[in-house]
C-alpha cells in the first residue's frame, strides 16, 4: 500500500465515515442511554376516575357557651340520661391564645368605657374634654353634637328675631292705623262742628278748629241772602271734604 495514502483526505474519510461510525455506534449509544434511563427513572401514572370522599366517623357538633376543648363526649343518640350523668367533659385549663384574646377584649372594653365617661362629662359640661381623636369615634360624636346644637340655637335665635321683628312691625302698623283713624275722626268732627255752625248761624267755632276762615267766608256771603241760599254751597263742600278723607 502506498504510504502516502495514510496522509490523504480520502483515507480519513473512509476510515471515520463508514457504516459503523455513522449508524451502529450512535444506535448503540442511544440503546445504552434508554436502558440506563429505564432503570433509574420513575414513571408517573395518572389515573382519572370518579369517587367520593367520606369521613370514617361523623364528628359531633356541640353548641356550647364554653370555648374550652372537649376531653370526653358521652352523648349518644336516643340515650336515656339521669341526673348526675357525665355527658361532656371540658378542659379546665384555658389555652394561651384564649387568655390573650380575652385580655385584649377586656382592655378594649375598659378603654371604651373610659371614652364613654369622657363623652358624658363633655356633654354635661358642654366642653371638649378629649385630648384628641379616639379609636371609637366619641370625639367626633361630641363635635357633631356640638355643631348640631349650635346650628339649632342659631336657628331658634333667628326665628325669635324674625318673630320679634314681625311683632314690632305689626305693633307699629297697628299704632299707625290707630293714629290715622284718630286723625280722620278728628277731621270729621271738625267738619261737623263747621257744618253745625253754618246751619245754626254761629259766628265762632270751638278753639283749635282750623275751619274758622271758611265760617267767616260763609258769614260774609250770607249777608243780604236768605239762609238756605247761602249755606247750600258750603254744606256741599263740607260733605265732599268728609267723603274724601
pLDDT by residue (tens digit) across 190-245? 888 888 888 888 888 888 888 888 878 888 777 766 656 677 787 788 788 877 76
Does residue 33 belong to any structural domain of this protein?
Answer: yes
Does residue 79 belong to any structural domain of this protein?
Answer: no
Does residue 225 belong to any structural domain of this protein?
Answer: yes
Bridge partners, residue 63, by sequence? none
Does residue 218 belong to any structural domain of this protein?
Answer: yes
Range of the structural domain that residue 215 is part of: 178-243
Positive or negative: CA dihedral 102, 104, 110, 112: negative
CA distance 91 to 178: 95
CA distance 245 to 183: 10
- Residue-wise pLDDT tens digits, 107-159: 999 999 999 999 999 889 888 888 888 888 899 999 999 999 899 999 999 99
Does residue 138 belong to any structural domain of this protein?
Answer: no
What is the total count of domains within the chain? 2
Does residue 160 belong to any structural domain of this protein?
Answer: no
Cα separations in angstroms, 54 against 24, 51, 118, 162, 214: 58, 10, 57, 81, 128
H or E stretch including 73?
strand 70-73
H or E stretch including 36?
helix 25-40
Amino acid at each position: 500500500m502506498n504510504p502516502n495514502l495514510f496522509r490523504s483526505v480520502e483515507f480519513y474519510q473512509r476510515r471515520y465515515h463508514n457504516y459503523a461510525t455513522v449508524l451502529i455506534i450512535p444506535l448503540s449509544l442511544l440503546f445504552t442511554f434508554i436502558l440506563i434511563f429505564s432503570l433509574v427513572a420513575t414513571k408517573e401514572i395518572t389515573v382519572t376516575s370518579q369517587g367520593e370522599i367520606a369521613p370514617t366517623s361523623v364528628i359531633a357538633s356541640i353548641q356550647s357557651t364554653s370555648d374550652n376543648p372537649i376531653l370526653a363526649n358521652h352523648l349518644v343518640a336516643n340515650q336515656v340520661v339521669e341526673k348526675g350523668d357525665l355527658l361532656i367533659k371540658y378542659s379546665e385549663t384555658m389555652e394561651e391564645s384564649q387568655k390573650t384574646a380575652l385580655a385584649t377584649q377586656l382592655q378594649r372594653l375598659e378603654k371604651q368605657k373610659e371614652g364613654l365617661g369622657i363623652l358624658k362629662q363633655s356633654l354635661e359640661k358642654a366642653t371638649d374634654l378629649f385630648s384628641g381623636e379616639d379609636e371609637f369615634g366619641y370625639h367626633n360624636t361630641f363635635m357633631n353634637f356640638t355643631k348640631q346644637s349650635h346650628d339649632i340655637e342659631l336657628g331658634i335665635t333667628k326665628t325669635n328675631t324674625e318673630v320679634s321683628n314681625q311683632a314690632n312691625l305689626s305693633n307699629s302698623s297697628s299704632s299707625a292705623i290707630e293714629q290715622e283713624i284718630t286723625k280722620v275722626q278728628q277731621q270729621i268732627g271738625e267738619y261737623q262742628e263747621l257744618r253745625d255752625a253754618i246751619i245754626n248761624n254761629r259766628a265762632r267755632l270751638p278753639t283749635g278748629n282750623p275751619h274758622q276762615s271758611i265760617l267767616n267766608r260763609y258769614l260774609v256771603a250770607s249777608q243780604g241772602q236768605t239762609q238756605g241760599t247761602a249755606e247750600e254751597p258750603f254744606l256741599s263742600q263740607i260733605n265732599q271734604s268728609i267723603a274724601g278723607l
